[in-house]
Amino acid sequence: MTRPILATNNIHPSIQKVVAGTHQDIIVEVQTAVTNNDIVVVGMAQNPAPKRARKALDEINLDYTYLEYGSYFKLWRRRNALKMWSGWPTFPMIFVKGILIGGSSDLRALIESGELESMIN
Domains of the chain, start order: 19-120 (3.40.30.10)
Q: Which of 43, 54, 42, 62 is nearest to 119 (CA)?
A: 62
pLDDT for the residue numbered 25: 96
* Cα separation, 32 vs 8, whole angstroms: 25
Q: Give yes or no for a contact between 82 and 93, defined as CB atoms under 8 angstroms apart.
A: yes
Residues of the chain with pLDDT under 50: none
In three-state secondary structure terms, 12 is: coil
DSSP letter, residue 8: G
Q: Give yes or no for a contact between 54 and 66, defined as CB atoms under 8 angstroms apart.
A: yes
What is the chain's mean pLDDT, rounded?
A: 95
- Bridge-partner residues for 66, per DSSP? 41
pLDDT for the residue numbered 2: 85
pLDDT for the residue numbered 1: 80
